[in-house]
Chain A
Amino acid sequence: MKHAQIKEWLHLSVVDELNDDARRLLDAHLGGCTECQDELKELLKFQSVIAKNAPVEVTNRMLLEARRQLHLSLLEYRLRKPFWERVAHWVQDVVVREYKVASGGIAMAALGVFVGYLIFFQPQKSEDKAHRFESPVVEQAMQSSSGSESFTQGNTRTSDLHLIDAGAKDGTVEFTFEAVTPMHVRGNINDEKVQKVLARALVNEDNAGVRLQTVNAIASQGSEHKNFDPEVKAALISALEGDDNPGVRQQALRVLMHQTLDSEIKQALVYTLLHDKNSGMRIAAINGLATASMEGHHLDQDILTVIKQKMDSDKNNYVRRQARTVIEEVAQR
């Protein structure tokens, strides 16, 4: 038997990884080979020294520190996640699902309307049907208009037309284009449908001034209809957490503070407290949480952990002081 094989078995035997058959063969070999007996002694000695001298033992203090840091990181991760989830859900729920439902009908209607428009040259008929290309919310709003609000549309403008196939002998043409229909809406801000249209603008509009006007319009909602539709609330929370413009974020926070302070809104406040670089926003967020606490709303352990962290580490004096007040107030209960 080769010594190379025996040496491998020696290594395996000292770390208790040798199978029974190999062990029997090894024992038989060791009986008559002093070189391998010496090697085994060396390996056992090495093994014993290594076992007695573990490089480091983890202390409880180190473990507790690691756990505390992990807890904060996970908390941050959980607070950050809903924003993206909300956006994803928003896209999925609002655009994809409704689009899927309506897409078949819309596609057929579009084909019919525009082939008719081109072939028979009757623009009035195509205008009658053009509202089918509007986003589902507006379309739904138009269909269910109750009389207290009005949705009217202007002329549909088409642009970016690309011919895919033209000049066939039978007259068939195939093309794509974009259609834009200006809408005029007059309604009450307390109306859910109106709010939803504004909420979309709050999320999608590129112009910060328009977003600010939109959130101001939502803020003007009367007190008789206090809690928003979930979609409107999600748009406001998205604005609070992610809008580039501090004015929009501040107004979104102000509007949300007039809602029932549920866990989503409280988490949005905590997210702002943790991540907003604008100290004014952090002050508004800690004030919001302080108000919530004084009004008897429950602040769970995760929220209190963040507030405690802010009490020690926020760059702004006021935020630190207010965070301490909240913690003391909660402790006194």
Chain B
Amino acid sequence: MAPDDTELILKAQQGDFSSFEQLVFRYDKEVLTIAARFVRNSDDAKDIYQEVFLRVYQGLRRFKMQSEFATWLYRITTNVCLTHRSRRKKQAHVSLDDEHDENEGEPHPSHVAVSEDPLPDQHAMDEEISTYVREALEVLSPQQKMVFTLKHYQGLKLREIAAAMQCTEGTVKKHLFTATQRMRERLRGVFD
């Protein structure tokens, strides 16, 4: 049976590096996903990912397990995301939207020259809507964007988001409603 988080944390706190890595591998895809959705640049997302887990590694000895590990991890992740400043603003960067994984799944629709898909128009339309949604997310404030992402794409409960962002549930609701309103205004007409 796989060890639970507490067991891994205790071992990692005693210096067992492989337990720390096991712990990382349980949550790291989620952390990277949040980061990637927040910054939309693969290099920045990887920077955030690294910063998050370095902070976890440095702080794990002081982690008293008074909260869930996941809550603590989300707190660090949101902090790092919200304080992150892209180091690559002036460099030509690789957008996540332009990437596709050669080793898995279908290539990005925009890379398909001749499609055998029976519904190419649908693909093109979906792609267009996705672009609008991504652009609409960019008009939100960092806090609104974080709340919106955690709620709609990570499926966190409002109280979990409040714990991660160290604010009240009321503040989270306010950010979520404002974000939703602004997104709806921005996307008005796109999916009518």
- Which residues on A are within 8 Å of B, measured CB to CB? 8, 11-12, 15, 17, 42-43, 45-47, 49-63, 65-67, 69-71, 73-74, 77-78
Within 8 A of A (CB), among B18-35: 21, 24-25, 28-29, 32-33
Chain A residue contacts of B4, Cβ below 8 A: none
Residues in A with CB closer than 8 Å to B16 are none
Contact B29–A55 (Cβ < 8 Å): no
Distance between B38 CB and nearest chain A CB, rounded to angstroms = 9
On chain A, the residues within 8 Å of B28 by CB distance are 63, 66-67, 70
Known: A56-B40, A70-B53, A73-B50. A62 touches B32 (CB 8 A): yes
Say yes or no: is B73 at the interface (Cβ < 8 Å to chain A). no
- Which partner residue on chain B sits nearest A15 by CB separation? B151
CA A66 to CA B104, docked complex, whole Å: 17
Residue pair B183, A66 in contact (C-beta under 8 Å): no
Q: Contacts of A15 on B, CB cut-off 8 Å?
A: 151-152, 158, 176
- Contact status A45-B157, CB under 8 Å: no
Q: Which of B149-192 contact A (CB under 8 A)?
A: 149, 151-153, 157-158, 173, 176-177, 180, 183-184, 187, 190-191
CA distance A85 to B46 in the complex (A): 29
Instruction: Give the complex CA separation of A61 and B94 in angstroms.
Output: 14
Once the chains are docked, how many angstroms separate the CA of A53 from the CA of B28? 22
Given contacts A45-B191, A58-B29, contact A50 B152 (CB under 8 A): yes
User: Which residues on the A side are within 8 Å of B86 (C-beta)?
Assistant: none
The A interface, classified by DSSP as helix, strand, loop or mixed, is helix
Interface size class of B (residues with CB under 8 A): 35 or more
Option from B24, B42, B97 in Cβ contact (under 8 Å) with A62: B42
Shortest beta-carbon distance, B150 to chain A, in Å?
11
Asked whether B17 is an interface residue with its Cβ less than 8 Å from the other chain, the reply is: yes
| Pairs A-B, 7 closest by C-beta atoms | A59-B101, A53-B133, A53-B130, A56-B96, A66-B46, A61-B101, A66-B49
Chain B interface residues (CB < 8 Å from chain A): 17, 21, 24-25, 28-29, 32-33, 36-37, 40, 42, 45-46, 49-50, 53-54, 57-58, 96-97, 99-105, 126, 129-130, 133-134, 137, 149, 151-153, 157-158, 173, 176-177, 180, 183-184, 187, 190-191
In Å, the complex CA distance between A145 and B158 comes to 71
Q: Which residues of A contact B152 (CB under 8 A)?
A: 15, 47, 50-51
Q: How far is the CA of A56 from the CA of B151 in the complex (A)?
A: 15
CA of A51 to CA of B97, assembled, Å: 17
A70-B24 contact given A52-B126, A55-B153, A60-B103, CB 8 Å threshold = yes
Closest Cβ–Cβ distance, residue B30 to chain A (whole Å): 9
Measured between alpha carbons, how far is A78 from B100 in the docked complex, in Å? 33
Is the pair A49, B32 in contact by a Cβ cutoff of 8 Å?
Answer: no
Q: Chain A residues near B42 (CB, 8 Å)? A: 62
Q: Is the CB of B40 within 8 A of A11?
A: no
CA distance A15 to B180 in the complex (A): 11
Closest A-chain residue to B172, C-beta based? A17
Q: Which residue of A lies closest to B24 (CB)?
A: A70
Write the nearest CB–CB distance from B73 to chain A, whole angstroms: 14
Contacts of B57 in A (CB 8 A): 74, 77
- Which B residue's beta carbon lies closest to that of A73? B50
Given contacts A46-B187, A63-B28, A73-B54, are A58 and B158 in contact (CB under 8 A)?
Answer: no
A93 to chain B, nearest CB (A): 19
Name the residue in A12, A59, A74, A78 with the highest tally of chain B Cβ atoms < 10 Å from its Cβ. Answer: A59
A15–B160 Cα distance when bound, in Å, is 14
Residue of A nearest to B97 (CB): A56
Q: Which residue of B lies closest to A62 (CB)?
A: B42
CA distance A124 to B33 in the complex (A): 77
Say yes or no: A70 contacts B49, CB within 8 Å: yes
B180 touches A46 (CB 8 A): yes
Tell whether A50 pairs with B101 under 8 Å between CB atoms, given A55-B153, A63-B32.
no
Contact A61 B50 (CB under 8 A): no
**Considering only CB atoms, which chain A residue lies closest to B134 in the complex?**
A55
Chain A nearest CB, measured from B20 CB (Å): 8
A330 to B24, CA, bound (A): 29
Knowing that A62-B99, A66-B49 touch, tell me 8 more A-B residue pairs with CB under 8 angstroms. Answer: A42-B184, A46-B183, A53-B129, A59-B100, A62-B36, A67-B28, A73-B54, A77-B54
Q: Is the CB of B36 within 8 A of A56?
A: yes
Shortest C-beta distance, A217 to chain B (Å), equals: 35
Chain A residues, Cβ within 8 Å of B104: 59-61
Contacts of A67 in B (CB 8 A): 24-25, 28
Interfacial chain B residues near A60, Cβ < 8 Å: 101, 103-104
A contact residues around B187 at 8 Å (CB): 46, 49
* Chain A residues positioned under 8 Å from B36 (CB to CB): 55-56, 58, 62
Separation in Å of the B103 CB from the closest CB of chain A? 6
